[in-house]
């Protein structure tokens, strides 16, 4: 019985099995990469419950809009912008920023530290800079990490374009940022953002 099994195990069969395993591994890795490229976990979506938004929700007057970013990622593919949410009455804008974890390793070779120091701001119509109120850092999912920013005092109707400028370490606003993403154009359509059950729970 054992000898019959050995006779069936040829080099051709071994190479065929190894080749099949390699193909399945590569296909699986590509599928996971494509999945993570287009997938944002729950902690990277929805609202961030600021005191201003909580008060408006308690009064029953909270409404918001959202839109597809006019440009979703920078030219190097290092940073992505996802699901801007804007509250017109509260003049509050929430933006999710995602970056590839390999970026930190790349920057280490050019003198960067062990953490990614990012200065993120809005650059409106190339004339006005708006800094965020706060952000929360979320752990990595797959090959990406996420940071979420809240900008207050933003009158969206005043602007034709909004850029997300990203500087590393100590920013020098007199020079070009490390990354800049034009994620809003006034001419492009917006849609109503409907609060999810998770949003409502966070606002209570």
For residue 100, pLDDT beyond 80: yes
Q: Are residues 56 and 90 in the same domain?
A: yes
Q: Are residues 193 and 146 in the same domain?
A: yes
Which residue segment(s) compose the domain that 141 sits in?
A: 46-203
Residue 83: pLDDT band (50, 70, 90) is very high
Q: In this predicted model, what pLDDT tens digit does every residue of 111-167 receive, in sequence order? A: 445 567 889 999 999 889 999 987 777 777 878 889 999 999 999 999 999 999 999
Q: Are residues 10 and 66 in the same domain?
A: no
Parallel, antiparallel, or unpaired for β 179-185 and 92-100?
unpaired
Q: Are residues 78 and 6 in the same domain?
A: no
Q: Are residues 148 and 182 in the same domain?
A: yes
If you average pLDDT over residues 28-56, what whole number do you get? 74
Higher pLDDT, 82 or 169: 82
Q: How many domains does the chain have?
A: 2
What CATH code is carried by the domain that includes residue 104? 2.60.40
Q: Are residues 90 and 141 in the same domain?
A: yes
Residue 40: pLDDT band (50, 70, 90) is confident
Q: Are residues 157 and 57 in the same domain?
A: yes
- pLDDT for the residue 137: 74
| pTM reported for the whole predicted model | 0.79
Give residues with Cβ within 8 angstroms of 185, minimum separation 6.
70, 160, 161
Q: Are residues 129 and 153 in the same domain?
A: yes
Give residues with Cβ within 8 angstroms of 131, minimum separation 6.
121, 122, 151
Contact 145, 96 (CB under 8 A): no
Q: Are residues 175 and 105 in the same domain?
A: yes
For residue 77, pLDDT beyond 60: yes
Contact 184, 84 (CB under 8 A): yes
Q: What phi, psi does 106 have (nearest 5°)?
A: -65, -40
Any idea what the Cα angle at residue 115 is, between residues 114 and 119, rounded to 5°?
145
Q: Are residues 26 and 64 in the same domain?
A: no
Contact 166, 178 (CB under 8 A): yes
Q: Are residues 139 and 182 in the same domain?
A: yes
Residue from 177, 173, 174, 153 nearest 165 by CA: 177
Q: Are residues 85 and 173 in the same domain?
A: yes
Residue 34: pLDDT band (50, 70, 90) is very low
3-class SS at 44?
helix
Residue 29: pLDDT band (50, 70, 90) is very low
Task: Using the structure block, give the residue that is written with the tokens 């190479």.
Answer: 15
């Amino acid at each position: 019985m054992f000898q019959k099994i050995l006779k069936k195990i040829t080099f051709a069969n071994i190479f065929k099995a190894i080749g099949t395993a390699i193909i399945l591994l590569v296909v699986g890795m590509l599928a996971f990469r494509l999945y993570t490229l287009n997938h944002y976990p729950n902690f990277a979506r929805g609202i961030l419950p600021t005191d201003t938004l909580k008060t408006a929700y308690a009064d029953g007057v909270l409404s918001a809009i959202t839109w597809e970013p006019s440009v979703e990622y920078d030219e190097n593919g290092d940073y992505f912008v996802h699901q801007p949410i804007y509250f017109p009455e509260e003049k509050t804008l929430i933006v999710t920023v995602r970056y590839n974890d390999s970026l930190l390793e790349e920057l280490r070779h050019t003198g960067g530290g062990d953490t990614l120091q990012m200065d993120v701001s809005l650059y409106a119509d190339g004339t006005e800079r708006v800094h965020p109120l706060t952000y929360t850092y979320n752990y990595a999912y797959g090959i990406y990490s996420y940071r979420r920013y809240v900008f207050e005092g933003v009158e969206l109707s005043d602007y034709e374009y909004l850029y997300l400028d990203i500087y590393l370490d100590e920013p020098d606003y007199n020079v070009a940022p490390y990354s800049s993403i034009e994620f809003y154009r006034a001419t492009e359509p917006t849609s109503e953002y409907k609060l999810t059950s998770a949003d409502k729970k966070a606002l209570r």
